[in-house]
Amino acid sequence: MNKLYFGDNLAVLKEHIEPSSVDLIYLDPPFNSQATYNILFKSPREDAVSAQASAFLDFWSWGIESEAAYHALLTEIGGNVATLMKALRAALHDSDMMAYLVMMAVRLVELHRALKPEGSLYLHCDPNASHYLKLTLDSVFGPRSFKSEVIWKRSSAHNSARRWGPTHDVLLFYTKSDKFTWNKVYQAYDPHYVDEFYTHKDPDHRRWRRSDLTGAGVRGGETGKPWRGIEVTPKKRHWFVPPARLDKLDEAGKIHWPAKEGGMPMLKRYLDEQPGVQAQDLILDIPPLHNLARERLGYPTQKPLALLERLIMASSNVGQVILDPFCGCGTSVDAAQALDRQWVGIDVSIHAVHVIENRLRARFGATAVPKPDGIPADYDAAAALAASLPFQFQWWANYLIGVHYLKEVKKGADRGIDGELFFPNGPGRPYGRLLTSVKGGRNVNPAMVREFRGVIEREKADLGLFICLEPPTPEMAREAIGAGFGNVVHGRIPRLQVVSIRDWFDGRRPALPPREQLPYAAFSAPGEKRRVRRPDPNEPELPFSFIGGKANKNVVGHLNPDMVTAGEGELALG
């Protein structure tokens, strides 16, 4: 029943999440338009074990989308949340914070709809926006639905100029009604508390503390009777368990008898039998993930599994449904899977969806990975993605190729490069380098191909892929052909290929060098003649798949198998 969605969570919530279908919601929405989410990619380059990719997962600034959200709040949703947003806009104007709040408000309305009456919500944020978000949650859920403000210490220290060092995050805990799921969860005792109170040790070194065997008040039943000649009624107290139970505790060695005659016996409360202290709203015992932590995936805002496990255990039961609409690298769904809950994860980043797939596969096996919903499976879906989420279309297109390195999706920052791929280029030679440029718009023209050709030459790259929606025009094809062939040992692969997404879904793929190292026989050792199998002359020629499209058949040449140099005389395509 687990579901993983790629797309805008507002659309997914409206189209796929039924009312009153979710038991627990956890969300950690990004705030700050400059925030980047980094992931480590394996890279074969000698000068780096890994390469980083950064993606802007959300861009919170006032614009058409935030204006539309504000309009919907006032004209369609109304009520307290509309009144609050109108007042906040009068104070905050069309600022980034106001954009963030209206975009969050419309989503919180949908999340409230999705919660069961017994459901709960945790909103994870930092102090920059927590006060505004609490007001927003009060307007959606009602002030009485607020239960706790949980503080998590996310870093040990932070040097900050002219203010107290910011070291904590805020988790706002709300419920849909007064009847909600709540389970006691415990955390380990503070070491100072243990040293102060658990001062006794048995010969086997088990630590224990003394605890009273009586309770206040007089009782007329079994607990009010004398035990071992000791009467507690005159002291206006009673035994906390009947005498027969006290005998069993004494037989088990769990009662301490003082050396002083007449002293009251005490219960021996062993440290290793205690569950710990009930979890508090100040979380100090779960540290942030350090750079070398095993569960670290490279997201700077990645939360530790222990934190999500504590929230999930407190506010849900086995088999119930957990929803995370900003699931990022998937810590919440990982924790839900491990704790036998059902889960729904949503993220607007295609990269995040693939990270979650890999994370679940590595920990729980392939059967635990649901097929993501929302990833384009045909041309029309890809074109819709390019129109609605152009940055994510760029990432998705790069994933089709399987690049090692993704550039920042930020205007002016990529220098004409959207992705890089590295491939073995023969013994004694450095790894080959392929660059990608992705254009999701409809107005792609030969000048763009020419510009990317210049980027390939500037970067001294071996190969390049220009990725766009529609098959190239003859002029675009000529620009690509003019780049010649790449300096690779895998055959005469065109240095620049135009990859059409329409052609891709029709089964036509670009010519790419093999990702794995080819057999040694495929390469020329120093002073040796290159060994190449000559194929049967009757074998068909391999067309350049980077053009495609009926109108362009006469523009493109063919790749002659006699020119191919590879392990078995084969050129890997796709």
Q: Has residue 257 got a pLDDT over 90? A: yes
CB 569 within 8 A of CB 533: yes
Confidence band of 414 (pLDDT split at 50, 70, 90): low
Contacts of 384 (CB under 8 A, 6+ apart): 376
Strand ranges (DSSP E) for 246-326?
A: 255-256, 266-270, 277-278, 282-283, 321-324
Would you state the pLDDT for residue 6?
Answer: 93
C-alpha 232 chain-centroid distance? 59
In the numeric block, which tokens belong to residue 188? 């380990």
Q: Which two tokens stand for residue 444?
A: 């792609």
State the chain's mean pLDDT as an integer: 84
User: Are the CB atoms for 513 and 432 separated by under 8 Å?
Assistant: yes
Least reliable range by pLDDT among 88-102, 158-172, 232-246: 158-172
How far is residue 397's CA from residue 374's CA, in Å, rounded to a whole number? Answer: 14
Of 91-105, 166-180, 282-296, the poorest mean pLDDT is in 282-296
* pLDDT tens per residue across span 327-367: 999 999 999 999 999 999 999 888 889 999 999 999 999 99
511-544: per-residue pLDDT in tens? 998 866 543 333 333 333 333 333 344 433 333 3
In 3D space, the residue among 378, 362, 369 whose CA is nearest the CA of residue 343 turns out to be 369
Which residues are 270's β-sheet partners? Answer: 208
Determine the pLDDT at residue 38: 44
Contact yes or no for 301/326 (Cβ under 8 A): no
Quick one: CA dihedral 92, 97, 98, 101, positive or negative? negative
pLDDT at 106: 97
Q: What does the pLDDT read at residue 217?
A: 95
| pLDDT higher at 400 or 146 | 146
pLDDT score, position 49: 32
| Dist. CA 466–CA 449, nearest whole Å | 7
Are the C-beta atoms of residues 63 and 92 closer than 8 Å to each other?
Answer: no
Within 259-416, strands assigned E span 266-270, 277-278, 282-283, 321-324, 342-347, 405-406
pLDDT at residue number 390: 87
* Beta carbons within 8 Å of 272's beta carbon, 6+ residues apart: 206, 207
Is 80 exceeded by the pLDDT of residue 18?
A: yes
Q: What's the pLDDT tens digit per position in 29-73?
A: 987 544 444 444 444 543 333 333 444 444 567 888 899 999 999
Backbone angles phi, psi at 303, to 5 degrees: -95, 150
User: CA 219, CA 168: separation in Å to the nearest integer?
Assistant: 49
Distance CA 54, CA 435 (A): 17
pLDDT-based confidence at 299, cuts 50/70/90? confident
Selected residue with higher pLDDT from 460 and 555: 460
Tokens of 126: 């930092």
Nearest-angstrom CA–CA distance, 401 and 396:
9
Owner of token pair 């763009």? 448
User: Which residues share a beta bridge with 115?
Assistant: 22
Phi-psi group of 55: left, alpha or beta (phi > 0 → left; psi -120 to 50 → alpha; rest → beta): beta
Among residues 499, 504, 492, 517, the alpha carbon closest in space to that of 571 is found at 492
Domains of the chain are: 3-185+279-375 (3.40.50.150), 191-273 (no CATH), 380-563 (no CATH)
What is the C-alpha separation between 165 and 574, in angstroms, rounded?
51
From the number of C-beta atoms within 10 Å of its C-beta (0-12, 13-18, 19+), residue 99 rates as buried
| Nearest CA-CA partner of 1 in 423, 344, 496 | 344
CA of 328: how far to CAs of 27, 105, 266, 297, 478, in Å? 10, 20, 52, 11, 42
Predicted confidence band of residue 404 (pLDDT cuts 50, 70, 90): confident
Q: What's the CA gap between 525 and 193, in Å, rounded?
A: 70
Given this model, what pLDDT does residue 407 score? 63
CB neighbours of residue 184 within 10 Å: 9
Exposed (0-12), middle (13-18) or buried (19+): which is 427, by Cβ within 10 Å?
A: middle
Length in residues, the chain: 574
Choose among 49, 35, 1, 44: nearest CA to 21.
Answer: 1
**For residues 509 and 538, which has the higher predicted lDDT (pLDDT)?**
509
**Angle, alpha carbons 122-127-133 (nearest 5°):** 50
Mean pLDDT confidence for 121-129: 93
What region does 507 belong to: left with phi over 0, alpha with psi -120 to 50, or beta?
A: left
Contacts with 27 (C-beta within 8 Å, 6 or more apart), sequence order: 111, 121, 122, 123, 124, 324, 325, 326
The pLDDT of residue 350 is: 86
d(CA 175, CA 119): 6
For residue 249, give both structure tokens: 């505790």
Q: Which of 17-26, 217-226, 420-429, 547-556 has the lowest mean pLDDT?
A: 547-556
Report CA dihedral (16, 18, 22, 28) to the nearest 10 degrees: 40
Q: Is the pLDDT of residue 571 over 80?
A: no
For residue 34, give the nearest of 358, 295, 409 by alpha carbon: 409
Q: Which amino acid is at 17?
A: I
For 375-384, what is each residue's pLDDT tens digit? Answer: 999 999 999 9
Lowest-confidence region among 200-209, 402-411, 417-426:
402-411
Quote the pTM value.
0.79
